[in-house]
Amino acid sequence: MAKVPSELRYSKEHEWVKLEGATAVMGITDYAQAELGDVVYLNLPPKGTALVQSHKMGEIESVKAVSDLFAPVSGVVAEVNQAAIDSPELVNKDPFGGGWLVKATGIEPGELANLLTAAAYESFLEGLATSGH
């Protein structure tokens, strides 16, 4: 069963976001990394890029496919995880920790209400398991 830390918020596209003061840290979920398989390449938005909630912010490539990354909240990119770009396996090993992708500032805390709580994301995953596609 995929890990779903309770303190995070989730998108239906399987991104997570965590508030650290005025900064939002984002990444992909444990479920997403397991479904993608071994991640081999990350294309992340450069520092200063304006992110719009649920709009495409980058790409993630695994041995299976290239998938779009969607911004879970709006904001401005303050930092990208160079360590994950250099060693994409971090995303597989530690998706909620060392495998974070982007930090953004200037966020709208109100947008978090559009995201799923851990409990809601867990039941969303259960729904996916029964539908198969």
Residues that bind other proteins (CB under 8 A): 35, 37-38, 40-41, 61, 63-65, 88-89, 132-133
Helix ranges (DSSP H) in 2-133: 30-36, 82-86, 89-93, 118-131
Q: Give the three-state DSSP class for 56.
A: strand
Which residue type is seen at 81? N
Q: State which residue, 79 or 89, has the beta carbon closest to other proteins.
A: 89
For the chain, how many residues are written?
Answer: 133
* Tokens encoding 98: 């060392």
Question: What's the closest the beta carbon of residue 105 comes to other proteins, in angstroms?
Answer: 28
Q: State which residue, 8 or 84, has the beta carbon closest to other proteins.
A: 84
Q: State which residue, 68 or 108, has the beta carbon closest to other proteins.
A: 68
Question: What's the closest the beta carbon of residue 62 comes to other proteins, in angstroms?
Answer: 8
